[in-house]
Structure 1
Amino acid sequence: MALPESDNVGIVKPNAARLSLVIAGICLAVFLAGMDQTILATAIPVISVEFDTSADFGWWSNAYLLTLSAFQLFYGKLYSLFPIKHVYLIAIVIFEIGSLVCTTAPTSIALIIGRAIAGLGAARVFSGSVLILTKLIPLAQRAAYLGIMSAAFGLAAIVGPFLGAAILQSSTWRWCFGINLPLGAVTVVLCFFFVHTPVDPSVKSLSLVQKSLQLDIPGTIFMAGSLICLLMALQWGGATYPWSNGRIIALFVVSGVLACAFLATQMTSFVGKARTIPSSLARSRDVWLAGTYAICINGGVYVAVLFLPIWFQDVRGRSPLSSGEMLTPLVAGYVVASIVAGGITSGFKYYNPAMIIGTVLSVAGSALLTTINIRTSTARVVGYQLVFGFGIGFGFGQPSYVVQTLLPAADVPMGVTFITLVQNLSASIFVAVAQSIFQGEMHKRLEPLLPRSPQNSSLLLAALPKILSSMPAEAQATSKGAISDSIIRTFYVALGLSCASIIGALLVKWVPMRDPYKEQNSGSLQSPNTQTDEKLGKTAPNVPGNQTSDSDGVNVEK
């Protein structure tokens, strides 16, 4: 009887010393990518003053998240066709180049371009780190290591705002990006010498031309173009231009057309193996549910990380360092819950309990955040953030476990990349939505308070301190309250997403994360993930729920 195919095929666990160095290297890489998402949190108000704009808040985050999202699936194909280590190291180098551009940016536009380049490199860092672990750690033990990696990402989120604030007080905001350069060099050295992953023999035998033909270039172009148009429409709509403006409508239309073109390339047969989304992923109900959960649980936290420091500094009058301290409960709750969730998943062998806990806590925490105002006590704000952070931490890593458990081993890289894609895409889209809500609410609330002048509309796009100082003295208190209310309105985005996450949390199947080899060799029953065909000597993944396998070995609901 043939051994069952599993996610453990090709795994050669390194010795303890090398594994420790590998974990250190990828955790440092994840730390850099994570820190780059939050280090701007306390620096945005300062940067906005230097460049005299409040309209680019979202773009400084979104440019990074846009390229982080748009190229995830393309890089997933690269990881499937080329050595993971090589692709991973190139990614870190691109990230470093983007950081250098940001460090030297003379204008807001240059900063946006640098952030886009950095995101292009970071697009491969998190998913590559996960894939390295999948090649070194058996599935049954993987949740604990992934929990450590998620904790490193969360630790970066904690350190980021503090480090950004400390840099602002001792130097310039430019070193918020310059600090990536020496740390990135250490990461490259560790990964170059100590990361060694097995290569699939069937892929190794392909020539460079054959590999290139399997890259879905048209699909990547269509997908990236669709996302760019969508984010531009969300960023400008209701703020720079009315929603009824022809530019906004055209951007939505072009985004939809390009999205349809992308889907068409995935459904037509001529693309063959170049198809970005494998059939096992496209036809799996549970993978799509996991993706939906990842979108909902991840999208709202970036809104809070972006707008809470602005609220602390421009509404409550805190310093950058103090606003970093005030953001600690949110990211600390995420880190602690990530570690706890990894332990729960490893212990129970099911990802579902942590998903449900994450939904409950994130709904409660985001609902509480929508109730704060300019007079809310600091203790309440801290407590509300802590609850929300716990919810995000419990749910963040679970969708990745779902695809690693349910997909065939050959499609796990694309499955992990797909989850990373939707997590980053969710952050990018909903940060743009929140920015549009903030600008729209601020215009509506502040315009009646401004002295009548043709320059009113342009003034409302300036930095918030400049807007407040331009107000008449008797209207400044009211104006600050209006800005506070405009910021709090963005937290309803987090609340809506948290509520929607209940769909994925409750409907994803309960399938244990087990090691089929260990069970078979010990004489026990085979894992529910494996169904062996005695006559044909073949195996196919099997998920409870009356599933069978189509001609391609893909699970399809009966």
Structure 2
Amino acid sequence: MQKINSSANDPVSQADKDVSTGRESEMGIGLERTSSGRDIYDKGSSASSGIPGVIPEYHELQPISSAPGPPGSQQDDEPHRSKVRVIAIMVALSLSLFVAALDQTIMATAIPTISAELHSASGYTWIGGAYLLANAAGATIWAKLSDIWGRKPILLSAVALFFGSSIICATAVNMTMLIVGRALQGTAGGGLIQLVTITISDLFSVRHRSLYLGLLEFMWAIAGGVGPLMGGAFSQYVSWRWNYWINLPVSGTTFVLLLMFLDVHNPRTKMLEGVMAIDWFGSLSILGLTLMLLLGLNFGGETFPWNSPTVICLIIFGCAMSLLFIYSEKRLAKYPLMPMHIFNHVSNVASLTVCFSQGFVFIAGEYYLPLYFQSVQEASPMHSGLLILPIVLMEALMGVTAGVVIHRTGRYLELIYIGVVLLTVGNGLYILYNATSSLGEIIGFQIISGIGAGLLFQAPLISLQAGVSQEDTATATATLGFIRNLATSSSIVIGGVVFQNCMKTQASGLRAAGVSAAITTELTGGDAAANVMMVTKIKDAAQKLAVKEAFASSLRNMWILYTCVAAVGVVASASVMKIKLSKEHKETKTGLKKKSDPDTPGARIPQAVSA
């Protein structure tokens, strides 16, 4: 391998280095040369997968030796990794992402069936909420564990946990067992989504890596598209339990492939040092505040009155835990989950606000539109899976399109403006949905909302990364991913609270329309979502129309809430600054800092540029 002159003032040496670097980038799996002559993998500064909840990080790797070859050969420029090994690794990583993404959408059309079979209406929101909440809480922990003990063992642990938790869900005999299984699944799924992107960042150069991140985007789109269809088909024609059994052969194959073919460097960190490096207090406090706030909102007006001590204490202590979390991140944590200096600049806060708004709103469409289809439109689970395809496919298509536009032009601010407006308009149009809405309205409104949501998957992330120093890119990205996951999990619970409390007010109207007391009891309050299939069994046309309008009215109030949250994103977007995206790359070192290492720099002050 050609030796590199360490003198930065030698123009000939520098020219040779530039040519070598360009050749290596074209090879895809490149090596970047340092002043010491050591070879390390090339790492990107701000590449994003465009996948919701995916958090890329970039890590220092040790030299990898390769078989010697003649000067200028490919062996000079990339580590010795056969095509078969690369294909096997990518298949395993793609399958890992697929099952984790699939379980976010496959339940949307199956939940009414599950709630009815397990005789638990209260579990309707928590089947999805438990998965997303655990996903949000666990993702950053998995990333930190992989930094400390290496990618392969932690990734295998996440796959194994996903496998085991899928068995728990598939064999659940009551709603409590199912929700526990879903929480464990969400914990593992958060790790899989996180670690797949991190591992790809370790394996490939930044230019070649984009091809594989595009593959992940495609896998996410496939999971989003087929998930509701599979969920509806299994629930209607086989059993809802197959929504979980299907994970076993996929995750089992993934485990074997990763065990046999994944060959990334594992740092040797002492167990005690690694355990002490984890931000335990921050992790526990953010989990505590989230659970207490969401439980308080979920219990309020349904399980307990809003003025009950239980609800009041949960909400108050949840808010108090947020203060403890902020204090921990600012004062106590040596390696914080969410560095507070990221929030020092208005543009960064605005980008995170847009991200929260998008995450809060887009998941509601995917989760609650099937409820509208099955209750008001009398669609079967399978049919509702087909009806949800417009928004899912548009989100996937626009997510890929936004990534291409940003990559080619460096422009992201325009995408944010268009996205927040269309997301608000699309969800505002959902308010018009009623018992007589046409198929054109159902599809058209979803397309508008889907375009807006899809444009906002990557653009806020790029804006945030451009507004922080290179050393803070990974932690800023992790913060955005956490906020997006927190938004999606809280959205499902809060939306369910609004819907259930609104349905409770419909009882008098249903009785006035002649609906029997027994059916009215089943279709109002917390029982509404679980008993949605009862709508098709009502024979009297006037009574059936009254029930449909009751569902539509309750859902309408929920869409008003989501439209207001989307409008917050419109307001926040006005404060997002336009920053020139740098093409230069500086390596980001992560892991446990030594005492001699400099302190982590804070977020840089973004400098706006003119169009």
**Residue 391 of structure 2 is aligned to residue 323 of structure 1:** no
Match of 1:437? 498
Q: Distance in 2 between matches of 1:17 and 1:281?
A: 42
Q: Distance in 2 between matches of 1:408 and 1:75?
A: 24
Q: 1:78 aligns with which of 126, 132, 145?
A: 145
CA contact (8 A) 1:131 1:413 kept: no
The one-letter code of the counterpart of 1:507 is S
**Residue 228 of structure 2 is aligned to residue 161 of structure 1:** yes
Q: 2:357 aligns with which of 282, 296, 309?
A: 296
**Residue 433 of structure 2 is aligned to residue 365 of structure 1:** no
Match of 2:280? 217
Q: 2:123 aligns with which of 50, 56, 77?
A: 56
Q: Distance in 2 between matches of 1:5 and 1:145?
A: 14
CA contact (8 A) 1:229 1:255 kept: yes
SS at match of 1:238: coil
Which structure 2 residue ranges, 5 or more long, are not aligned?
A: 1-7, 9-33, 36-41, 46-57, 62-77, 590-597, 607-611
The one-letter code of the counterpart of 1:366 is N
Larger RCO (alpha carbons 8 Å, 6+ apart):
1
SS at match of 1:52: coil
Q: Distance in 1 between matches of 2:345 and 2:270?
A: 31
Q: Distance in 1 between matches of 2:393 and 2:113?
A: 24
Greater shift, 55-64 or 507-516, is seen at 507-516
> Displacement of 1:310 after TM fit?
1.6
Q: Taking structure 1 as reference, are residues 453 and 308 closer, same or farther at Cα in structure 2, changes over 3 Å only?
A: closer
Q: Taking structure 1 as reference, are residues 218 and 380 closer, same or farther at Cα in structure 2, changes over 3 Å only?
A: same
Match of 1:542? none
**Residue 559 of structure 2 is aligned to residue 491 of structure 1:** yes
Matching of residues 196-215 of structure 1 within 5 Å: 196-198=263-265, 204=267, 206-215=269-278
Q: Taking structure 1 as reference, are residues 393 and 19 closer, same or farther at Cα in structure 2, changes over 3 Å only?
A: farther
Q: Taking structure 1 as reference, are residues 311 and 421 closer, same or farther at Cα in structure 2, changes over 3 Å only?
A: same
Question: 1:452-509 CA distances to partner (integer Å, 9 max, x unpaired)?
Answer: 9799767633333476589895534212211122123222233223222234544333
Q: Taking structure 1 as reference, are residues 141 and 393 closer, same or farther at Cα in structure 2, changes over 3 Å only?
A: farther
Match of 1:349? 410
> Displacement of 1:136 after TM fit?
3.5
**Residue 541 of structure 2 is aligned to residue 479 of structure 1:** no
Q: Distance in 2 between matches of 1:281 and 1:345?
A: 23
The one-letter code of the counterpart of 1:228 is L
The one-letter code of the counterpart of 2:143 is G
Q: Taking structure 1 as reference, are residues 405 and 151 closer, same or farther at Cα in structure 2, changes over 3 Å only?
A: farther
Q: Taking structure 1 as reference, are residues 105 and 421 closer, same or farther at Cα in structure 2, changes over 3 Å only?
A: same
**Residue 277 of structure 2 is aligned to residue 277 of structure 1:** no
Q: Taking structure 1 as reference, are residues 220 and 166 closer, same or farther at Cα in structure 2, changes over 3 Å only?
A: same
**Residue 225 of structure 2 is aligned to residue 177 of structure 1:** no
Q: Taking structure 1 as reference, are residues 391 and 189 closer, same or farther at Cα in structure 2, changes over 3 Å only?
A: farther
Q: 2:584 aligns with which of 489, 509, 516?
A: 516
Q: Taking structure 1 as reference, are residues 189 and 500 closer, same or farther at Cα in structure 2, changes over 3 Å only?
A: farther
Question: 1:397-421 CA distances to partner (integer Å, 9 max, x unpaired)?
Answer: 3344445555555544433332221
The one-letter code of the counterpart of 1:491 is W
Instruction: Count residues with an aligned counterpart.
Output: 524
Q: Taking structure 1 as reference, are residues 98 and 255 closer, same or farther at Cα in structure 2, changes over 3 Å only?
A: same
More helix by share: 1
Q: Taking structure 1 as reference, are residues 137 and 421 closer, same or farther at Cα in structure 2, changes over 3 Å only?
A: same
Q: 1:230 aligns with which of 293, 316, 329?
A: 293
Q: Taking structure 1 as reference, are residues 488 and 136 closer, same or farther at Cα in structure 2, changes over 3 Å only?
A: farther
**Residue 294 of structure 2 is aligned to residue 246 of structure 1:** no
CA contact (8 A) 2:342 2:603 kept: no
Q: Taking structure 1 as reference, are residues 19 and 286 closer, same or farther at Cα in structure 2, changes over 3 Å only?
A: farther
Q: Taking structure 1 as reference, are residues 9 and 70 closer, same or farther at Cα in structure 2, changes over 3 Å only?
A: closer
TM-score by length of 2: 0.78
TM-score by length of 1: 0.85
CA contact (8 A) 2:337 2:479 kept: no
Match of 2:65? none
Greater shift, 18-27 or 478-487, is seen at 18-27
Q: Taking structure 1 as reference, are residues 493 and 274 closer, same or farther at Cα in structure 2, changes over 3 Å only?
A: same
> Displacement of 1:228 after TM fit?
0.7
Greater shift, 96-105 or 351-360, is seen at 351-360
CA contact (8 A) 1:359 1:391 kept: yes
Question: 1:6-41 CA distances to partner (integer Å, 9 max, x unpaired)?
Answer: 737758787766554444332222211111011111
Matching of residues 392-471 of structure 1 within 5 Å: 392-408=453-469, 411-450=472-511, 460=524, 461-462=526-527, 463-465=530-532, 468=535
> Displacement of 1:390 after TM fit?
1.6
The one-letter code of the counterpart of 1:96 is F
Q: 1:30 aligns with which of 79, 91, 97?
A: 97
RMSD of Structure 2 on Structure 1 (CA): 3.2
Q: Taking structure 1 as reference, are residues 210 and 102 closer, same or farther at Cα in structure 2, changes over 3 Å only?
A: same
Q: Distance in 1 between matches of 2:223 and 2:93?
A: 13
Q: Distance in 2 between matches of 1:553 and 1:476?
A: 63
Q: Distance in 1 between matches of 2:182 and 2:546?
A: 35
Match of 2:256? 189
Match of 2:176? 109
